[in-house]
Amino acid sequence: MNYFSLNNKNHSSSFENAVIRGLAPDKGLYFPEHIEKLPDSFFSALPNMPQTEVAYQAIKQFVGDEIPEAELKKIIAQTLDFEFPVVHVKDNVYTLELFHGPTLAFKDVGARFMAGSLGYFITKNEVGKVTVLVATSGDTGGAVANGFLGVEGIDVVILYPKGKVSKIQEKQLTTLGENVTALEIDGAFDQCQDMVKQAFLDEEIQSKRQLTSANSINVARWLPQMFYYFLAYRQLASEGKNIVFSVPSGNFGNVCAGMVAKELGLPIKHFIASNNANRTITDYLETGTYEPRPSVSTISNAMDIGNPSNFVRILQLFQNEYGNVKENLTSFSYDDEVTKEAMQEVYNETGYVMDPHGAVGYLGLQEYFKDHPNEVGAFLETAHPCKFRETVEDAIGKQIDIPDSIKEVLEKEKKAISIKDYADLKAFLLS
Ligand SMILES: *Cc1c(COP(=O)(O)O)cnc(C)c1O
């Protein structure tokens, strides 16, 4: 499969090159040249197909022959060695729990798949050492650190905003050591992201280090997220064919991967992008004008993003037509108060504990059902509630259980380097 740059349709890249580079030379995001629908035989076999086979069938056209079948299947097996249960919450509301991976975040899937693919290309094709440079607003850091830990030929450098990620998130990204370094910045996530972008444009750094990104701009992080939708459908198919998904969204990589699943023929009725107070896309769908803005801090911090990087991919999927986007995507935005109330309400009513991101997804689904009462839907639970322990316990008025794996990481010692500005980052990368 070849990919083109969203800044220049004539620029063509292999999957390997897109994974290694992250962004095209013209700074455009890579996008698949074709998306070919999966055959009917796939969909009839889907309900009884093993998880890893579903994933292999879904992703294989995007990889092509660049990773041999046996290797690709091995990468997928390592990526998906946990469950993705659909849990009934109430009435026509289900949740797809994506937090059963090693860092209890849905990003584990993308991070592991990318680590497997990049690791394969590096050892196979003598690419040389690669540095994965990534900014995190919370969950990316831990998942990427964990996914790439110990992968030969790869160094990982993670930038995170000091005091703006949860305690567990911070420990997950600062305690691993080996090939992983955490850099702490006294600022907001947007600043971390800007510094990463600047480093990618810096020729002096590029001449010394081969940099790539593990944010969802990288196709190997973005595309495997489509697996969730197939795996949810496989479990929900008996509920009727058309499922609505509400996706708590920040950079819009996850929801956009769901849209690719739909392009592959998965019968998804509609997408809801549920936002916290960072409502750039909610406003875009209301007004037709895209106005990025600085992010604001919320209790669902992994979605504190004012200029979602995958928005351009969504536009591409819908031929850059506003009307087309609007037909396929609805977006709602909720502030922290309403989010906490929802956590409490659902807990009191059903006993189900939502994390703040999932709660935003739940709210979006409920609001959509007001006008579509006969549909069935799932909101994505993108993180385990214990990662936002204080907020959750405060909202539901009860202590929640902490898994043993998290208790272990909390005891480890934090190791991070504090940096002030871009000059510090540059000095670190050149050293
Ligand atoms: C990253 C993240 C999101 C947002 O996903 P995008 O693909 O960036 O839209 C939502 N919830 C959690 C817990 C996350 O870590």
For position 316, which CATH number holds?
3.40.50.1100
* Residue % of the chain over a pLDDT of 70: 100
Structural domain containing residue 355: 83-106+221-401
- pLDDT value at residue 240: 66
For the segment 361-420, what is each residue's pLDDT rounded down to a tens digit? 999 999 999 999 999 999 999 999 998 999 999 999 999 988 988 899 999 999 999 999
Which atom number of ligand 1 is nearest to the Cα of residue 358? 11
pLDDT at residue 128 is higher than 90:
no
**What's the rounded mean pLDDT across residues 273-284?**
97
Among the ranges given (30-44, 91-105, 162-176), the one the predictor scored with the smallest mean pLDDT: 162-176
Q: What is the tally of structural domains in the chain?
A: 1
- pLDDT value at residue 405: 85
- The answer to the question of residue 125 being in a domain is no
Q: What angle do CA 44, 46, 51 make, to 5 degrees?
A: 170
Task: Report the C-alpha gap between 185 and 272 in whole angstroms.
Answer: 33
- The answer to the question of residue 151 being in a domain is no
- The answer to the question of residue 179 being in a domain is no
- The answer to the question of residue 136 being in a domain is no
pLDDT band for position 166 (50/70/90)? confident
Task: Report the C-alpha gap between 262 and 344 in whole angstroms.
Answer: 33
**What's the rounded mean pLDDT across residues 174-194?**
92
For the segment 215-246, what is each residue's pLDDT rounded down to a tens digit? 888 999 999 999 999 999 999 987 765 799 99
pLDDT at residue 331 is higher than 90:
yes
- pLDDT value at residue 237: 82
Residues in a beta bridge with 180: 156
- pLDDT value at residue 138: 75
CA of 33 to the centre of ligand 1 (A): 26
Q: Does the beta carbon of 252 lie inside 6 Å of ligand 1?
A: yes
- pLDDT value at residue 241: 59
- pLDDT value at residue 7: 96
pLDDT at residue 295 is higher than 90:
no
Residue with tokens 């986007």: 325
Residues 60/73, Cβ–Cβ less than 8 Å: no
- The answer to the question of residue 64 being in a domain is no
Half-sphere exposure of 229 (CA within 13 A, CB side): 31
Q: Is 260 exposed, middle or buried (0-12, 13-18, 19+ CB in 10 A)?
A: buried
- The answer to the question of residue 189 being in a domain is no
- The answer to the question of residue 61 being in a domain is no
Contacts of 384 (CB under 8 A, 6+ apart): 99, 104, 105, 355, 403
pLDDT at residue 334 is higher than 80:
yes
- pLDDT value at residue 154: 94
- pLDDT value at residue 124: 87
Which atom number of ligand 1 is nearest to the Cα of residue 99? 13
Mutate which of 169, 303, 386, 391 to test ligand 1's pocket (most atoms within 8 Å of Cβ)? Answer: 303
- The answer to the question of residue 159 being in a domain is no
Is 107 tagged catalytic? yes
- pLDDT value at residue 213: 84
Q: Does the beta carbon of 302 lie inside 6 Å of ligand 1?
A: yes
